[in-house]
Amino acid sequence: MDDASVCYLTTRGRRTGRPHRIEIWFAAHNGRLYMLAGSRDGADWVRNVRADGRVEVEIAGMVQSGVARVIEGEPDDPLARRLLAAKYQGWREGAPLSDWARTALPVAVDLAP
């Protein structure tokens, strides 16, 4: 899972209830996936998650169900930012985070067993 560069996140449309699938960067840690929304609540997928957290995630051809939620201000918020910055921007401990990593909206997905 960690070797995949992107995942496909499918949310349910908050108005239509239809599937809405996007390609997005992610990081995995202890059975949880983390994503950052650069446009924060302006992203349709974030608004969909806020309305209904049930999602499907496809990584390397494997599909899993999960529950997504915004985690800004929660204990995993800094972890999500560091994991994604390290994976995609080469961030290392002690270095400053990029604007994207500092300001994007963090979302966690707990995968179903």
How confident is the model over 39-46, as a mean pLDDT?
A: 96
Band of residue 1 on the pLDDT scale cut at 50, 70, 90: low
Burial pattern 38-66, b for ≥16 Cβ within 10 A else e, equals eeeeebebbbbbeeebebbbbbeeeebeb
What's the average model confidence in pLDDT over 28-37?
Answer: 96
User: Cα separation of 34 and 77, whole Å?
Assistant: 9
CB proximity list for 72: less than 8 A, separation 6 or greater:
105, 106
Residue 56 confidence (pLDDT) above 80: yes
Q: Name the pLDDT band for 113 (thresholds 50, 70, 90).
A: confident
Domain architecture of the chain: domains with CATH? 7-111 (2.30.110.10)
pLDDT in tens, 13-32: 999 999 999 999 999 999 99
User: What 8-state DSSP symbol labels residue 84?
Assistant: H
3-class state of residue 15 by DSSP: coil
Residue 84 · residue 101 · CB < 8 Å:
yes
Task: State the CB neighbour count (10 A cutoff) for residue 16.
Answer: 9
Whether pLDDT at 46 is above 90:
yes
What is the rounded radius of gyration, in angstroms, for the C-alpha atoms of the chain? 13
pTM of the predicted protein model: 0.95
| Confidence at 52, pLDDT banded by 50, 70, 90 | very high
